[in-house]
Structure 1
Amino acid sequence: MNTPSHDSTRRAFLQVAAASAVGASLSPRAFARRMAGSTPPPTLRWGIVGTGQIASSMASSIKAAQSADLAAVSSRRLESAQAFAERYGTAHAFDSWEEMANSDKVDALYVATPTSVREEICIAAARGGKHVLGEKPLASLASVDRILAACRENDVAFMDGTHFSHHPRTRELQARRDGWIGATTLVDSSCAFNLQDRSNIRYNTELEPMGAIGDAGWYNMRAAVECLPPGVKLESVSAVLRRDKETGAAMGGSGELRFEGGLRSTWTCGFDASPSSMHVHIEGADGQIEMPGFLFQDSDHSARLEVKRAGGEPTTHRIASGSPGSVLMFEDMAAAAADPSLRAGWANRTRRTQALLDAVWHVALAAEASGR
């Protein structure tokens, strides 16, 4: 596919190229997590904005995490907040996220709201002195930068809600990738599943403007950020999208990112896959790595990857973990709240992921407008 020529596409490309350059400053300390026997960071008292399915899932993760306490929840309807609070043993229920953000009952907010309203809440939380964990995607790279600026100005941490980045398999891959397969040449990812319910918020173009590209495609972009060498600069983007006939929402898409040195990342995402596919395939000069079900872990919280060196037999590596990635995310957030030196690494990952997402979205829109 060729990259369409379009002013908004060009602006998006320039933004993502700059964001990619920032990635070179990522430090291994961004993945620091307390080791066994070390002193845990102070406990964060969490407030959840929203009472939907993802909020319920993350409530369980907060309760399972060390250095985390589920202290409050807010909903537009007080009855919903009270029911949620009773279900999860939460002390405080609010019918106003503003009131919760400014209360002394919480230290951090998990923002589980639609994308279209997420920035306002994240910024208000930061200005209220609260650490912020925002669901993904964000509205745009500019939105991310406004949120991060508010967090820096108020000396609070920010993190996006991408679980697999926190599992030790990610660190293991990054530490051993070159030794296993040599210089990386390709990251191919799929994140596609079957979602038929048109009443689902993901099909609401006002609340979730990017549809499947923003929802599932976020994971494709994060796979590129985590699996490619840090700091590589983007050179070109190609992307197409598919629309749902009933709602007009972006139902799926695919494309290619080309980086300096000949590195590529190909991707596909969607709400119309049967069967579901969530897979990362990495090629290098001397072999390949497969990560089936890359968003998930096994029942014992371990996660697998398969390495096949050129001319050799595949070898399965199982990376152990005491907790799933969603629980480790809240533990990492407590560490970043306590140690400001850990914050830039997570912020940079959010910027790079969102920048890639913005680029493919604008290119896909331009391709759609031109009839390609």
Structure 2
Amino acid sequence: MTMTKVKIGIVGTGFIATILAPQIQSSKKARLDAVSSRTLAKAESFVANYPGAIAVEGADHLIARDDVDAVYIATPTSAKEDVASRALTAGKHVLIEKPLHSAASFKRLSALARQKGLLLMDATHFVHHPRTSAMRQRLAALIGAPRSLHTMFYFPFSDRENIRFDPIDEPMGAAGDMAWYSMRAVVEYLAPDALEDIKVFAEWDPHSGAVIRATGVLQFNAGKTATFDVGYTAGAAVMELTVAGTSGILTQDDFVLDWQSGFGFDNPDIQTGFIHRSGLATRNDFAFIETPSERSQHALMIDNFADLIRNGDAAEREIWLSATEKTQVFLDAIWQEIQTQARASPAMTPQVNMRENP
């Protein structure tokens, strides 16, 4: 029996949409049905590479299509809640790019999704790779009780024409773009219940006023802590993660986009997995635990999204909603600290957009 594919429409034709579109198109569980942009010409140019996909002018026209089951929202953060709300109201499932505008914004969307009986999932791809679940399942056996987590995520990037340097459409800058992944790692591997204290230092681009680097420490309940260091200024691609427990540590050097099949990387000879070490182990004693996957984490995300639409498992959908909300709550705390710093040192923060989190 042939399985009916979930028909997905994409709102937005920017860089991130070009990454996910081929994963949707090649999925055995979903297919790319339509793409919208503010101009029809942009949508037509985008779908030229995807036979069968329809070009649509404007998000409303895509959302109104009867042949669209779900909408992937790849718009700037400033527009995400509006588009997602209209899609959910119209009865469409939603896959939404990170970060969200705020935790309050996400709570409104999740309440609407529950009311409509629809799936709302954020597009954090690394959590769909089998490595994430393998690490979670083996944490206690390998390192005891997790106590601290450090993440470092840098990509060299300086194109001020890019939306990442626009404090209006992407108000959190590098913090929203990159610290989101750090906070999602906190949710996945430390699983704290509450944030108790935080300190963040930020660097702003002097021309655009965008946040281009952020470093911070967070203290959670039960003595758990996390440190993060993210931005565009390191001059190299860095995606390191270390989670330390009472009897050992686990590390990854590609926690966001695995070297093997993350977009921008295609190295089938590099194994995906994590390193375990304990005691006084030297490099010769480090144990690499491989977590192979036949498909990329982006492709797995699309498949999982389609599966959750089909099975309608409300309890499993709640797990995704909870993880997204916690991630955004911690990210909001980072942004609020950055805003506090900006107010305290106005001479060091040119053109900073002091957006609150409604």
TM-score, length-scaled by structure 2: 0.90
Aligned to 1:115: 77
Indicate the residue corresponding to 2:171 in structure 1: 209
Alpha-carbon distance between aligned partners in 2 of 1:169 and 1:85, rounded to the nearest angstrom:
33
Tell me the secondary structure at the aligned position of residue 104 of structure 2. Answer: helix
Residue 55 (structure 2) pairs with residue 81 (structure 1): no
2:193 corresponds to: 232
Residue 349 of structure 1 corresponds to which residue in structure 2? 323
Pick from 291, 296, 304 the counterpart of residue 319 of structure 1.
Answer: 291
Q: Could you list the per-position Cα deviations for residues 314-348 of structure 1 after superposition, in whole angstroms to 9, with x for gaps in the alignment?
A: 10011011211101111111121122332111111
In the TM superposition, residue 173 of structure 1 has moved relative to its aligned partner by 0.4
Unaligned runs of 5+ in 2: 261-266, 349-358
Shift of 1:240: 1.6
Structure 1 residues 42, 187: closer, same or farther in 2, change over 3 A? farther
- Name the Cα RMSD after superposition: 1.7
The residue number in structure 2 matching 1:12 is none
- % same residue: 34
**Deviation readout 1:46-79 (Å, 9 max, x if unpaired):** 0001112111110011122221011110011111
SS at match of 2:135: helix
**Partner letter of residue 301 of structure 2?**
M
Residue 273 of structure 1 aligns to a residue whose secondary structure is coil
Match for residue 248 of structure 2? 287
On the 8 A contact 1:242/1:251 being kept in 2, the answer is yes
Which consecutive aligned stretches of 4+ in structure 1 deviate over 3 angstroms post-superposition?
Answer: 39-42, 299-302
Offset of residue 134 of structure 1: 0.6
User: Does structure 2 conserve the Cα–Cα contact (< 8 Å) formed by 1:188 and 1:267?
Assistant: yes
**1:178 counterpart letter in structure 2:** A
Given that 2:192 and 2:220 are in contact with CA atoms closer than 8 Å, whether structure 1 keeps it comes out as no
Q: Given the alignment of the two structures, is residue 340 of structure 1 paired with residue 302 of structure 2, yes or no?
A: no
2:137 is aligned to 175
**Distance (whole Å) between structure 1 residues aligned to residue 88 and residue 189 of structure 2:** 30
- 1:54 and 2:54 are equivalent in the alignment: no
Instruction: Look up the SS of the partner of 2:48 in the other structure.
Output: helix
In structure 1, runs of 5+ residues without a counterpart are 1-38
Higher normalized contact order (CA 8 Å, seq sep 6+, divided by chain length): 1
Amino acid across the alignment from 2:299: V
Question: Does the 8 Å contact 2:204/2:212 carry over to 1?
Answer: yes
Say whether 1:200 aligns with 2:168: no
Distance in structure 2 (CA, Å) of the matches to 1:152 and 1:278: 34
Distance across 2 between alignment mates of 1:197 and 1:236: 34
Aligned to 1:264: 225
**Deviation larger for 84-93 or 312-321:** 84-93
Deviation of 1:42 after TM superposition, in Å, equals 4.7
**Residue identity opposite 1:92 in structure 2:** I
The answer to which of 311-320 and 295-304 deviates more is: 295-304
